[in-house]
Amino acid sequence: MRTQVVIIGSGPSGLLLGQLLHRAGIDTVVLERKSRDYVLSRVRAGVLEQGTVGLIEEAGVGARMRREGLVHDGFEIAFAGERHRVAITELTGGRSVMVYGQTEVTRDLMDGRDASGAPTVYEAEDVALHDFDGPSPRVTWRKDGVTHELVCDAIAGCDGYHGVSRASVPAGAIRTFERVYPFGWLGVLADVPPCAPELIYAAHDRGFALCSMRSTTRSRYYVQCPVDERIEDWSDDRFWDELRSRLGPEAAVAVTTGPSIEKSVAPLRSFVAEPMRFGRLFLAGDAAHIVPPTGAKGLNLAASDVRYLSDALIEHVRDGSEAALDRYSARALARVWKAERFSWWMTTMLHRFPEDEGFTARIKRAELDYLFSSRAALASLAENYVGLPY
């Protein structure tokens, strides 16, 4: 069997790429290790940059997002007992972000793919990449005990941080950069109204906290915790108490508590693999890079990779040119590293690190004081938050 592009992974990267290529008349097959329901059960971040919103629209699956998504033109940072607003729309000349869960984006993309008739193989086992250093790469997998093979022009490795694509590249051809943070995020999803109309990022001596939302009736909250924290040790009551203790009195009293519908601990990591292209294999999204969740750049970076990769593949198929494919890795990485910097900076400024005593504690406090005393500093934060241009 043959197709033009084999896409490994049906997360947001793979599905968005599939839709953009389909609309350009390029055939794809998506191979996914898990079931559709499993992919849709994962709870992830929920803030979309305007560029990501535009791509979802371009992919033809923006209708529900437009109806149900919440447009935000600001967010808050709470520290030293006070709340401060970052007026992102005013600071960026009219840009905003959209609060709409990644799970919903994935569902809309899956529905769009089904409607277009493009094939997805779920529960594909032992996916393996072959010959991507030559002109005719192949991908093999097993399904229900039968081995299958597809020959293609290009492979898109959209299979996340633990995927097979990056792992298939010879060690000498790839260089990785990594920072692991000495804490995690304990997240709770609950069907309660959010405590404020906009997101609140809180820097507190007890650690970071974040008030986010999925809708006007569903809240997503996080508190910084040790990475090896046992979820069993966190009753809902303990979580709500810890959250409120970090928010300051005004936001704390506005928190509506209720039973959690999801509770999990996520580690925080910065990671980049270079380059993002190996012959006819192209990495995109979490397969190539990870950001800590502060600032919600993960999905948005996946989207910008897909913008560059779809443009390159479309140009290649249309003109037979190699030039766009040759540019992909450098173009994508230039934006990736800026988002890595921003996510690292937000994480460092707002979290409590073990070494935050004395000098570093004072520097972090000065950084926050400076931020809210300088329009230039706030504009820089806002410009990154809404997303740098493609």
Please say which residue, 28 or 294, places its beta carbon nearer to ligand PHB.
Answer: 294
The size of the interface with ligand PHB (CB under 6 A), counted in residues, is 11
**Binding of ligand PHB at residue 112 (CB under 6 A)?**
no
Residue 170 falls in the annotated catalytic set = no
What single DSSP character describes residue 80? T
Please say which residue, 47 or 186, places its beta carbon nearer to ligand PHB.
Answer: 47
Pairing of strands 5-8, 28-31: parallel
Residue 100 falls in the annotated catalytic set = no
Residue 297 falls in the annotated catalytic set = yes
Cα–Cα distance measured from residue 134 to residue 207, given in angstroms and rounded to the nearest whole number: 50
Please say which residue, 9 or 112, places its beta carbon nearer to ligand APR.
Answer: 9
Q: Least Å distance between CB 288 and ligand APR? A: 8
DSSP 92-126: TTS--EEE--HHHHHHHHHHHHHHHT--EE-S-EE
**Which of ligand APR, ligand PHB, none lies near 286, with the C-beta cut-off 5 to 8 A by kind?**
ligand APR
**Which of ligand APR, ligand PHB, none lies near 294, with the C-beta cut-off 5 to 8 A by kind?**
ligand PHB
The H or E element containing residue 303 is helix 298-319
Please say which residue, 156 or 210, places its beta carbon nearer to ligand PHB.
Answer: 210
Residue 263 falls in the annotated catalytic set = no
Please say which residue, 166 or 220, places its beta carbon nearer to ligand PHB.
Answer: 220
**235 CA to centre of own chain:** 28
Please pick, among 289, 297, 351, 364, the residue that the annotation labels catalytic.
297
Pairing of strands 146-151, 277-278: unpaired
Q: Least Å distance between CB 16 and ligand APR? A: 8
The answer to whether the CB of 284 falls within 8 A of the CB of 156 is yes
Report the DSSP beta bridge partners of residue 278. Answer: 281
**Binding of ligand PHB at residue 384 (CB under 6 A)?**
no
Please pick, among 100, 221, 328, 385, the residue that the annotation labels catalytic.
385
**Which of ligand APR, ligand PHB, none lies near 46, with the C-beta cut-off 5 to 8 A by kind?**
ligand PHB
User: According to CB under 6 A, which one of 9, 46, 51, 112 is a site residue for ligand PHB?
Assistant: 46
- Mark the segment that binds ligand PHB (CB under 6 A) among 20-28, 103-111, 288-296, 317-325: 288-296
User: According to CB under 6 A, which one of 92, 212, 219, 310 is a site residue for ligand PHB?
Assistant: 212
**316 CA to centre of own chain:** 27
Q: Within the chain, how many helices (H) and strands (E) appear?
A: 13, 20
Residue 72 falls in the annotated catalytic set = yes
Our CA dihedral for 267, 295, 197, 46, rounded to 10 degrees, sits at -70
Cα–Cα distance measured from residue 317 to residue 65, given in angstroms and rounded to the nearest whole number: 31
Scanning residues 290 to 349, which ones bind ligand PHB (CB under 6 A)?
293-296
Contacting positions for ligand APR (CB under 6 A)? 8-14, 31-34, 39, 44-45, 102, 124, 127, 158-160, 162-164, 285-287, 298-299, 302
Cα–Cα distance measured from residue 332 to residue 282, given in angstroms and rounded to the nearest whole number: 11
Please say which residue, 32 or 242, places its beta carbon nearer to ligand APR.
Answer: 32
User: How many residues can be counted in the chain?
Assistant: 390
Q: What would the x/- binding string for ligand PHB be over residues 215 to 234, using CB under 6 A?
A: -----x--------------
Q: Where are the beta strands (DSSP E) in the chain?
A: 5-8, 28-31, 47-48, 70-72, 75-79, 82-86, 97-99, 120-121, 125-130, 138-143, 146-151, 154-157, 175-190, 200-203, 209-213, 219-225, 260-274, 277-278, 281-283, 289-290
Active centre residues (catalytic): 72, 201, 293, 297, 385
Contacting residues toward ligand PHB, per CB under 6 A: 45-47, 199, 210, 212, 220, 293-296
